[in-house]
Amino acid sequence: MERLVRKFTIVMADDNPDDFYLVKDALEENSLSCDLRLVSDGKELLDYLYQMGAYAKPGEAPQPELILLYMHTPDNDGWKAIAVIKSDPSLRWIPIVVVNSSKKSEDITRCYDIGASSYISIPETFESLVDIIGTVGKYWMAVVKIPGCDWQAVPDTVQERVMI
């Protein structure tokens, strides 16, 4: 049986493309090469996951193994996106790591209540971001088992996924 190997896919929902490049650089600093995709908000995230609109073309939106979600986009639709994803049996297994500037306990509690897997406060320095992204990346790419995925050890990488 032939095995298809592809990189670990992370979809990042954030309205600031500069944040995307900071996360990409932080992943590279940690030698975590993955397929990092950017969507601008919760609505576009749902389009991506359901392969609609700009993501309707086959191969345009590979199923992610992780979602990084910045909650406070201009439309503030991150809450709705989490609720939709976690209520759909075909998507609810995808971990959602909320990245947010709020340190309010009610925001943190609400994220967990609607199904977020983790809540991370936005770090103040790039060095802190590198540490946090390294920890998050290694945890979700190398430690956690995701349904339907077999992980293949590849020299110097932990993010290759074998589809069987």
pLDDT at residue 113 tops 90:
yes
pLDDT score, position 6? 60
Query: Which residue from 26, 7, 34 is spatially nearest to 135, judged by alpha carbons?
Result: 26
Please compute the mean of the pLDDT values over residues 77-105 and round it to a whole number.
Answer: 92
Model confidence at 155, in pLDDT bands (50, 70, 90)? Answer: very low
pTM (predicted TM-score): 0.86
| 33 SS3 class | coil
Give the CATH number of the domain where residue 157 resides: 3.40.50.2300
Model confidence at 103, in pLDDT bands (50, 70, 90)? Answer: confident
Of the candidate ranges 64-78, 103-117, 131-145, the one whose mean pLDDT is the lowest: 64-78
pLDDT at residue 4 tops 90:
no
Total number of domains in the chain: 1
Model confidence at 5, in pLDDT bands (50, 70, 90)? Answer: low
The pLDDT tens digits for 19-49 are: 999 999 999 999 888 899 999 999 999 999 9
Crossing angle of helices 126-138 and 17-29, in 10° steps, is 70
Phi, psi of 74 (to 5 degrees): -55, -35
Domain enclosing residue 65, as ranges: 4-163
Residue 85 belongs to what H/E stretch? helix 78-87
